[in-house]
């Protein structure tokens, strides 16, 4: 049976640390293989973030129909799902309370301004 290690994830900093810090972090437990996948997903999210930040200032460009933004959102959803799967009960409760998995899966096209 593979040994599970505890690490702390900061999505906003896109970091995975062995020790908890004062910053917002989510505690996860996983095998080396699972934690490596998490590390790779954080690196991918960093790359996605770099691409979207250069596209954001383009005038009249709707970010909700942008491939780079869609990729970022898809990768963010996958990341939070993996964190949830590897998370402690406290981490799972936090993600559940954030309701982020549901929000990322459902667009807000019903809001005013998104007709047609």
| 112 part of a folded domain | no
| 15 part of a folded domain | yes
| 110 part of a folded domain | no
| 23 part of a folded domain | yes
Contact 16, 79 (CB under 8 A): no
Number of domains in the chain: 1
Q: Flag whether the pTM goes above 0.95.
A: no
Residue 85, domain extent = 5-105
List Cβ neighbours of 40 (8 Å cut-off, separation of 6 or more).
Answer: none
Contact 42, 14 (CB under 8 A): yes
| 88 part of a folded domain | yes
pLDDT values of the chain reduced to their tens digit, one per residue, 116 residues:
689 999 999 999 999 999 988 877 899 999 999 999 999 999 999 998 887 776 555 555 555 566 777 788 889 999 999 999 999 999 999 999 988 877 655 555 555 554 44
| 114 part of a folded domain | no
């Amino acid at each position: 049976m593979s040994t599970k290690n505890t690490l702390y994830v900061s999505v906003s900093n896109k970091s995975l640390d062995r020790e908890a810090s004062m910053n917002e972090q989510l505690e996860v437990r996983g095998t080396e293989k699972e934690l490596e996948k998490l590390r790779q997903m954080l690196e991918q999210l960093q790359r996605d973030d770099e691409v979207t930040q250069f596209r954001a200032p383009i005038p009249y460009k709707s970010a909700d129909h942008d491939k780079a933004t869609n990729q970022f959102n898809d990768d963010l959803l996958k990341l939070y799902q993996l964190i949830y799967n590897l998370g402690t009960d406290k981490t799972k409760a936090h993600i559940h309370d954030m309701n982020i998995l549901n929000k990322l899966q459902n667009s807000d096209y019903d809001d005013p301004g998104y007709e047609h």
